[in-house]
Chain A
Amino acid sequence: MRSIARVLVLAVLCLPSVAAFADATSDQFRNELEALKKQMQEMQRTIKEQQKTISNQQNTIDKLEKTAAKPVELPPAQKEELRKELTQELAREERKTVTPSPVPARGRGFGGMEPFARGIQSLNPDISIDGLFAAAASTEDDFERLFTGAHDPVQRGFTLQNLELTLGGAVDPYFRGDVHLVYQIDRRGKSTLEVEEAYLTTLSLPSNLQLKAGQFFTQFGRLNPTHPHTWDFSDQPLVNGRMFGGDGLRNPGMQFSYLLPLPFYMEAMTTVQDSQGETAFSFRNAPGEELFGRPLQERKVRGLDDLLWVPRLRTSFNLSDTQTLLLGASGATGPNASGLHTRTNIYGLDLYWRWKPLDNFNGWPFVSFQTEGMFRDYQAGRALDETSGDLLLPRRTLNDWGMYSQILWGFSPRWVAGMRFDYVEGNGDARNDPNRDRRLRYSPNITFYPSEFSKWRLQYNFDDQPDRGRHDHTITLQYEFLIGTHGAHTF
């Protein structure tokens, strides 16, 4: 209707000008004018007819509206028949338009992509930030004496344990990339940034192989490769601190893993990494520092033997539909910097068992048991007095061992009670070395998870230090938040 009106207005506007030219020109114009007149009459007639049709239709609509108040009830079977016909018709129409492709994209439906995300499609990685904090009180003044982890509470009062920025996503059809950056605030209030992990993982190498390359946590045992916010206690087990230092065993390198073609899960992996730095604590560590009374020397890599090699075998069995067992054995070998030819070997065994009923309520209830034992063989070089050259400490083999066991009980939705036992010890004259003395620790805790993305944890530590002749009590309140898209964790 509107377009017809527009044509009319235009035609009317044009008329005077057409008339003005009519006299001055030939019959051609007159003829055209005649034609236009006819056309206009024609249009007016059409409009009238259309108006008539519209009013007729309006009447019909009014009638229909009246009758619609009491609709004709089709019997359900007939309705179903109609519905079926319609659906089939629609399906036929859709099938016609489909072009065969690996992933058929049809008109309606989900289309394999998040509908909401379609509008904001971007190639950005998944981003998440996890904040992990603690408030602590202890009978021990020096927290470094109590805790072995760099993400453990550092002082009485408050600690930012870990602010972790995680980015991850597909690199291309061949690799996945993951980055974990960690911010911390130390006791002096200084902010630090750590490149905790940054690595690629292959998606489909042949022969069940997989390669991980970059900077990453070494696959040794169960706890070492995981991030503090996934831990079940607010501090790191003592044995992990003793063997791998405060920040865990991680360095630039590569990890090859192989899924064995067996009817049950068994994965063999070997990691080769740089053996230097604070994150290779029992190995080359940081030159210039001192460990076990011996100064650490500058030691260059001269061959494959000077790198850190870590084989690991992991297997799992389903004991029943509700019980899963995971077993692992690890070894780590590499040079240490206490001498020019000294080496360190660390051996570890780990076990994890979990029970969770099949009709669990959002993951509850459950019971899990986890234990790890480690043994270290550290060939310590001689320590000489810098000025006189006198022998201060002889060449020695230092053996340390330790373990932790923990049991967790998700007794009621959102609530978990836990108990952990820690034990570490060293051979020989270890009692005066805070890195080697005998220690036992008992840590009960209780955690409340308001959702998967936050937690509040209250933990008590009873530290028994027989070599120091004292014991200490520590209470920690840990809390966490997680925002953004954070990948699921492995079993």
Chain B
Amino acid sequence: MKIFGVCAGISPRWLVAGLIAVSIVTPALNVQAVERLRVITSTPDFAAIATEVGGDRVDVLSLAKGTQNPHFVDARPSFIVELNKADMLIEGGLELEIGWLPPLLLSARNPNLQPNAPGRVVAALNVPILEVPTFRVDRSMGDVHPAGNPHFTLDPDNGKIVAETIADALIRIHPQDAAVFQANLERFKNTLDAKIQQWVAQMEPFRGAKVVSYHKSYNYFIERFGLELASTVEPKPGVPPSPAYVETLTALMKAQGVRVVMLEPYYVRALPDVISRETGAQILVLPTMPGGIPEVQTYADVFQYNINALTNALRAGQ
């Protein structure tokens, strides 16, 4: 046990001196030769939009991957390092990231990202939010969002609003590039507008078609493109269905002629498969974010892919 005796005397004075030394060395090491703004986003949808608006003036990184459920992201310590170095953080808001982002931000000790700091961007800021409870909610209703449905980027019009919010924030912290950000924003909006027209026309023949989704992830999409959500596979947000509920659901789907089950890429397929066999409805794995499936990489890809998949399935079902 001699070996332990050697290191037995950790001197407090030595510790204090060491701590002071490292904190002096820090600013020297922390060279901020920033040419591009470091933008961190909670999820890849905001990253895709920020990349379009920021162009070559920003480096964008999304903490969550497109295949991940944005409610359940592992708060890996490497995220602390990323957040520590960031000039800007874009989060969804509406408690989407409440289960993992707050402790990371506390550990990141970055003044740029404090609430109300210019670098802290809440994407939901100007978005008209669906399903804001007008009554008192509690957890007997499942994992409800007291502030409304946070999956708002699945309406491309909201994507434009988010892009405006991001452009405002970029201009706020980097006014010298205001013209670039403004031009990028206009280009993004115009390109998207042209596509929206095309998407709306593509979806028009299926107006009022009834669909079922696993979680209430696609509600903004459904609303925007004139579909109707008949029910969800989850009886309540975050609550897995019981066999009795599945029976009710399949009966409802048969009665209402539901042809499509919209499934988020991160949900287990086993139960939707059972429902599909029972009702004949087709299961469509539809990405909610860029990167959700390999072939979907940009914000517009999400809609193009989903609309192609949906129109094909609905046409086949007619």
Q: Residues of A at under 8 Å CB distance from B?
A: 76-77, 79-81, 84, 87, 91, 102-104, 106, 108-112, 114-117, 170, 173, 176, 201-205, 207-210, 256, 258-265, 267-268, 270, 272, 304-305, 307, 309, 311, 314, 316-318, 321, 324, 326, 331, 333, 343, 345, 347, 354, 356, 358-363, 375, 377, 397, 399, 413-414, 427, 451-453, 483, 487-491
- Asked, given contacts A304-B12, A304-B13, A361-B268, whether A80 binds B200 with beta carbons under 8 Å apart, the answer is yes
| Stretch touching chain A among B49-57, B77-85, B249-257 | B77-85
**Residues of chain B contacted by A80 (CB below 8 angstroms):** 196-197, 200-201
Chain B neighbourhood of A360, CB < 8 A: 68-69, 72, 266
Confirm or deny: B276 has a beta carbon within 8 angstroms of a beta carbon on chain A.
Answer: no
Task: Answer yes or no: B100 CB below 8 A from chain A CBs.
Answer: yes
14 A–B contacts from the bound complex (CB under 8 Å): A79-B200, A102-B116, A112-B124, A203-B114, A204-B114, A208-B84, A264-B81, A305-B12, A318-B78, A354-B74, A358-B67, A358-B68, A377-B4, A483-B139
Closest to B134 in A: A116
| CB-CB nearest 7 A-B residue pairs | A316-B77, A109-B126, A110-B124, A265-B77, A204-B111, A114-B147, A207-B26
Determine the chain B residues whose CB is within 8 A of the CB of A311 once the complex forms. 10, 15
Contacts of A333 in B (CB 8 A): 9-10, 12
Closest-CB distance, B252 to chain A (whole angstroms): 24
Complex CA distance for A258 and B74, rounded to whole angstroms: 23
Q: Which residue of B lies closest to A170 (CB)?
A: B115
Q: Which residues of A contact B197 (CB under 8 A)?
A: 76-77, 80-81
Any chain A CB within 8 A of the CB of B228?
no
* Residue of B with least CB distance to A324: B76
Q: Is the CB of B129 within 8 A of A115?
A: yes
Considering the chains assembled together, what is the distance between the CA atoms of A67 and B238 in angstroms?
46
- In the complex, A81→B197 CA distance in Å? 8
B245 at interface, CB cutoff 8 A: no
Most chain A beta-carbon contacts within 10 A, residue among B7, B109, B139: B109
In the complex, how many residues of chain B place their beta carbon closer than 8 angstroms to a beta carbon of chain A? Answer: 87
- CB contacts (< 8 Å) of A451 on chain B: these are 139, 143, 238-239
CA distance A399 to B265 in the complex (A): 54
Instruction: Note all chain B residues with C-beta closer than 8 A to A103.
Output: 116, 125
User: Among A115, A258, A324, A413, which residue has its beta carbon within 8 angstroms of that of B26?
Assistant: A258
Nearest A residue to B203, CB-CB: A76
Bound CA–CA A318/B126 (angstroms):
36
Given contacts A102-B118, A452-B99, 18 further A-B contacts (CB under 8 A): A77-B201, A109-B127, A109-B128, A112-B125, A116-B132, A116-B134, A202-B109, A208-B30, A259-B107, A260-B22, A261-B30, A316-B76, A324-B74, A333-B9, A345-B9, A359-B67, A488-B100, A490-B75
Q: Bound complex: CA of A343 vs CA of B94, how far in Å?
A: 52
* Contact across chains for B72 and A363 when beta carbons are under 8 A apart: yes
Q: Which residues of A contact B239 (CB under 8 A)?
A: 451
Is B12 touching A307 in the complex (CB atoms < 8 A)? yes
**CA A104 – CA B164 in complex, angstroms?**
11
Q: Which residues of A are found within 8 Å of B243, using beta-carbon distances?
A: none
The residues of B that contact A272 with a CB separation of less than 8 Å are 12
Q: Are A347 and B94 in contact (CB under 8 A)?
A: no
Known A-B contacts A264-B78, A360-B69; A110 and B200 likewise in contact (beta carbons under 8 Å): no
Query: In the bound complex, what is the Cα–Cα distance between A414 and B239 (angstroms)?
Result: 10
| CA of A317 to CA of B143, assembled, Å | 32
Bound complex: CA of A106 vs CA of B122, how far in Å? 13
Most B-side CB within 10 Å, residue of A79, A261, A305: A261
Chain B residues with Cβ under 8 A from A263's Cβ? 81
Most chain A CB atoms below 10 A, which of B1, B81, B143, B148: B81
Within 8 A of A (CB), among B236-277: 238-240, 265-268
Query: Chain B residues with Cβ under 8 A from A487's Cβ?
Result: 102-103
Cα of A20 to Cα of B274 in the assembled complex, Å? 91
Cross-chain contact B76 with A176 (CB below 8 angstroms): no
Number of A-B contacts (CB under 8 A): 218
For the complex formed, measure the closest distance between the CB of A401 and the CB atoms of chain B, giving whole angstroms: 9
A residues near B168, Cβ cutoff 8 Å: 104
A318: chain B residues at CB < 8 Å are 76, 78
Provide the residues of chain B in CB contact with A262, threshold 8 Å.
81
Give CA–CA (A142, B150) in the complex, Å. Answer: 52
Q: A309-B15, A361-B266, A488-B98 are in contact. Are A377 and B5 (CB under 8 A)?
A: yes
Q: Which of A109, A173, A201, A491 contacts B124 (CB 8 A)?
A: A109
Q: Could you tell me the distance in whole angstroms from the C-beta of A376 to the nearest C-beta in chain B?
A: 9
A204 adjacent to B78 (CB under 8 Å): no
Chain B, Cβ-Cβ closest to A490: B103
* Residue among B12, B133, B164 making CB contact with A309, cutoff 8 Å: B12
B106 at the interface (CB under 8 A from A): yes
Determine whether B177 belongs to the interface, using a CB cutoff of 8 Å to chain A: no
The chain B residue with its CB closest to the CB of A484 is B139
Q: CB distance A205 to B147 under 8 Å?
A: no
A264 to chain B, nearest CB (A): 7
Residue of B nearest to A427 (CB): B1
In the bound complex, CA of A356 to CA of B93 (Å):
25
Contact of B109 among A79, A210, A314, A414 (CB under 8 A): A210
Task: Verify B110–A358 contact, CB threshold 8 A.
Answer: no
Q: Output the least CB separation between A267 and chain B (Å).
A: 8
Q: Is B204 an interface residue (CB 8 A)?
A: yes
Q: How many angstroms from the CA of A413 to the CA of B239 in the assembled complex? A: 11
Q: Which of B9, B13, B109 contacts A204 (CB 8 A)?
A: B109
Chain B 139-174 interface 0/1 with A at a Cβ cutoff of 8 Å (1 = within): 100010011100000000100010010001000100
Chain B residues with CB under 8 A of A205: 109
Residues of A within 8 A of B114 (CB): 173, 203-204
A168, closest chain B residue (CB): B102
Chain B positions within 8 Å of A176 at CB level: 106
B179 CB within 8 Å of chain A: no
Partner of B23, one of A84, A258, A397, A413: A258
Interface flag for B65 (CB, 8 Å)? yes
Chain B residues in 8 Å Cβ range of A453: 139
Determine if B309 is an interface residue (Cβ-Cβ < 8 Å): no
- List B residues 2-19 near A (Cβ within 8 Å): 4-5, 7-13, 15-16, 19
Distance, CA A22 to CA B107, complexed state (A): 87
* Distance of B69 from chain A, by nearest CB (Å): 7
| B29 contacts chain A at the CB level, 8 A cutoff | yes
B10 in contact with A110 (CB, 8 Å)? no
